[in-house]
Amino acid sequence: MNYYKNLKKSNKIMCRLCQHFCQLKEEQVGICGVNKNENGALKTLVYGHPSALNLDPVEKKPMYHLLPGTSALSLGTVGCNFKCPFCQNWQISQEHLVDTSVDISPQKMVDLAIENGAASIAYTYNEPTIFYPYAKDIGVIARERDLKNIFVTNGFESEEVVKDMASWLDAANVDLKSWDDAYYKKVLKGGLEAVKETLRNMVKEGIWVEVTTLLIEGENDSDADLKAMAVFIADELGTHVPWHLSAFHPDYKMQDHESTKLGTLERAKKIALEAGLEYVYLGNVPVHGDTYCPDCHALLIDRTGYSVTQNNLVDGHCPKCNRAIEGVWK
């Protein structure tokens, strides 16, 4: 795809990476802080310049239904198209100064993944949509070398990007941060309808999707909102789509807000299961994240923290009743 569009009447370009669709005059940078109109073309200033690079358990993304027990080479850059006051990676996401002394080509990134025994590459830490040209160039090479590709995203991609992703991306963990569109717009500087559209389109394009909601008491944890989110996932994405309910810990601009209680997560999980969701996991709390067969309830995957201590799947099926378990298993 072409990552920008020329607006001839105004001598500007429109960035097509996310649903802000920033219109940029010459030398102007978008909301994300890292995509710039340079000589009438869109330049991604962080291309080749990751600010975070680690080998993580794939469960940490969190991604529970993709190659459990394997490692993902995880990378992120500076910049973001949201302004979440609870961001856990705000040191890079809200930074716009690019360290060009770090220069890793797409080919080198894939080599690093293979050299370190990773089974996948995860585009994460900050919002990867803003460095999509870099991510895609890595991802295309990664797929050729039998690595999986994972996006950990706020779901504000443009429809064009989601369609383009289908050619190289295997899976995405998408944040569903709230069921309040006004909260999305005022506090996060995004939009709920855009995220819902992205989720629907990713599923439609055949990308494996898992959803994460960071529960913040008093902000997004009402029974009504939780039920609405659960019903949306079940009815519009599928009852098989995993929902990760994660505990908030004070950070960035919300350091005086209380941590989420385990009871709040358990209440949310009960609502999710009542809505028909088959795979619901609790995160950022010391509980098991086990996967059970929705039909016969046999233990399939035993997780302690980010470690898989037991994997009983047989070719992606339940060993007891032979039900096919949804996910990316090979």
pLDDT at residue 71 in the model: 98
Question: Which among 54, 52, 130, 60 has a CA at the least distance from the CA of 91?
Answer: 52
Domain ranges, residue 28: 4-43
pLDDT at 8: 86
What is the Cα–Cα distance from 163 to 70, expressed in whole angstroms? 27
One domain, residues 35 and 61: no
Shared-domain flag, residues 56 and 39: no
Regions in the chain scoring below 70 on pLDDT: none
pLDDT digits (tens, 9 = 90+) for 294-311: 999 999 999 998 999 999
80/220 same-domain check: yes
pLDDT of residue 9: 84
Give the integer Cα–Cα distance in Å for 302 and 162: 32
Q: Are residues 206 and 115 in the same domain?
A: yes
146 and 275 both lie in a single domain: yes
Task: Give the model confidence (pLDDT) of 256-280 as tens digits.
Answer: 999 999 999 999 999 999 999 999 9
Residues 329 and 198 in one domain: no
Kindly state whether residues 141 and 214 are assigned to the same domain: yes
Give the pLDDT of residue 222: 97
CATH number at residue 227: 3.20.20.70
Which pLDDT does position 15 carry in this prediction? Answer: 98
For position 11, what pLDDT does the model report? 87
CA distance 249 to 284: 8
Whether residues 95 and 10 share a domain: the answer is no
| Total domains in the fold of the chain | 3
| 29 and 157 share one domain | no
Copy the structure tokens of residue 278: 């088959």
Q: Are residues 236 and 300 in the same domain?
A: no
Domain co-membership, 73 together with 109: yes
Q: Are residues 23 and 140 in the same domain?
A: no
